[in-house]
């Protein structure tokens, strides 16, 4: 049972660290399916994490912090949309600019407002999200195997965790079973045909980047108000880029996105678990190597194990309406 308990702990950690990846990857899915390549997922998550942590610290309300996180993220998404859709600018440059702005602005504003080295005050009570116990989790906790799976692995997560996993089937339904999803995918593949049918390509793409902003905002709020108790400088730590890698690894399909993010989350959880432990033959592995392991494996998986990933045909290409 010792090995089983260890596995449950690792899987629980996997779920916890996978949530922001899932939300950010789904955010990129909406945007890129509409033909807007978004490398600014990292910046939007970071800005949302700061906005959420700051608003929650000032108001004492986690829901207010969540609203502030989503609002700031959507505003940055609209900036990216204005540069990429209205002005037909380079989408990579716009995304990189958002990342730099968020990285610098969060530190400057955090220091100016709270005088804690770019951090926000520690959150407690109603200012942060608390875990949710599923029904009968305590009663069946002593049942071998099933009790541990239900009480320790499935129960005891944050509300935003369950929301992230519910977004997987919801996104699949939106993309493949609704008129909005059909038009969204068509805009990413052949915007000229969509325009000919009398549907505004510009409006569809703006709606896609708004969806992207909302999900990035929730991901940022999870980082600063659930996973940790406040904002810390650079707390996204490349999660936006890993989410982008997971999206490519999943070939822009919602269900595959979940499995890809869980894989990257498992690698991250294993790197945390193995720090300082001795491995057979190798011995004690340096902490720095274990911290870099998820990023190294991300590169390896993308380079050699996904085959040919074909993005939406109109992805990254500004649409110019024919006259």
Regions of the chain short of the pLDDT cut 70: 1-2, 275-283, 285, 287, 302, 304-308, 320, 322-323
State residue 140's pLDDT score.
82
- Tokens 């309406």: give the residue: 321
Q: What's the pLDDT tens digit per position in 55-109?
A: 999 999 999 999 999 999 999 999 999 999 999 889 999 999 999 999 999 999 9
- How far, in whole angstroms, is CA 233 from its chain's centroid? 17
**Angstrom distance (rounded) from CA 123 to CA 64:** 13
Return phi, psi of residue 157, to 5°.
-105, 170
Q: What's the pLDDT tens digit per position in 293-318?
A: 777 777 777 676 666 677 787 777 77
Q: Which domains does the chain have, with CATH numbers?
A: 2-127+147-302 (1.10.3470)
Helix H, strand E, coil C: the string for 255-318 is HHHHHHHHHHHHHHHHHHHHCCCEECCCEECCHHHHHHHHHHHHHHHHHHCCCCCCCCCCCCCC
- On whether the CB atoms of residues 265 and 14 are closer than 8 A, the answer is yes
> For residue 72, what are the contacts with CB-CB under 8 A and spacing of at least 6?
47, 48, 50, 51, 217
The Cα angle at residue 46 between residues 43 and 47, in degrees rounded to 5:
85
Residue of 229, 217, 59 lying closest to 128 (CA atoms): 229
Q: What is the pTM of this model?
A: 0.92
State residue 273's pLDDT score.
75
**Angstrom distance (rounded) from CA 176 to CA 202:** 21
State residue 196's pLDDT score.
86
In the numeric block, which tokens belong to residue 146?
């099933």
- Tokens 């305590």: give the residue: 138
State residue 283's pLDDT score.
66
**Angstrom distance (rounded) from CA 27 to CA 4:** 34
């Amino acid at each position: 049972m010792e090995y089983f308990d260890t596995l449950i702990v690792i899987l629980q950690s996997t779920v916890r660290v996978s949530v922001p990846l899932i939300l950010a990857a789904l955010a990129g899915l909406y945007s890129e399916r509409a033909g807007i390549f978004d490398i600014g997922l990292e910046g939007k998550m970071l800005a949302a994490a700061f906005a959420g942590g700051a608003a929650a610290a000032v108001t004492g309300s986690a829901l207010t912090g969540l609203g502030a996180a989503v609002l700031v993220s959507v505003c940055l998404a609209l900036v990216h949309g204005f540069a990429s859709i209205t002005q037909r600018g380079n989408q990579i440059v716009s995304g990189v600019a958002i990342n730099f702005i968020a990285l610098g602005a969060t530190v400057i504003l955090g220091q100016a407002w709270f005088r804690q080295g770019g951090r926000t005050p520690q959150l407690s009570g109603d200012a942060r999200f608390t875990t949710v116990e599923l029904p009968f989790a305590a009663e069946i906790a002593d049942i071998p195997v099933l009790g541990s799976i239900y009480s320790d692995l499935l129960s005891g997560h944050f509300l935003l965790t369950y929301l992230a996993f519910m977004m997987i089937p919801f996104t699949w339904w939106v993309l493949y079973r609704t008129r909005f999803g059909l038009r969204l995918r068509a805009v990413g593949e052949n915007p000229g045909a969509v325009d000919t049918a009398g549907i505004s390509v510009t409006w569809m793409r703006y709606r896609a980047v708004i969806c992207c902003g909302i999900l990035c905002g929730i991901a940022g709020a999870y980082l600063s108000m659930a996973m940790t108790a406040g904002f810390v400088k650079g707390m996204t730590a490349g999660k936006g880029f890993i989410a982008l890698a997971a999206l490519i690894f999943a070939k822009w399909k919602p269900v595959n996105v979940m499995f890809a993010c869980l894989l990257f989350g498992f690698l991250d959880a294993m790197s945390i678990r193995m720090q300082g432990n001795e491995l057979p033959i190798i011995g004690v592995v340096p902490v720095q190597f274990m911290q870099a392991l998820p990023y190294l494996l991300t590169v390896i998986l993308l380079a050699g194990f996904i085959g040919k990933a074909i993005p939406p045909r109109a992805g990254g290409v500004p649409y110019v309406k024919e006259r």
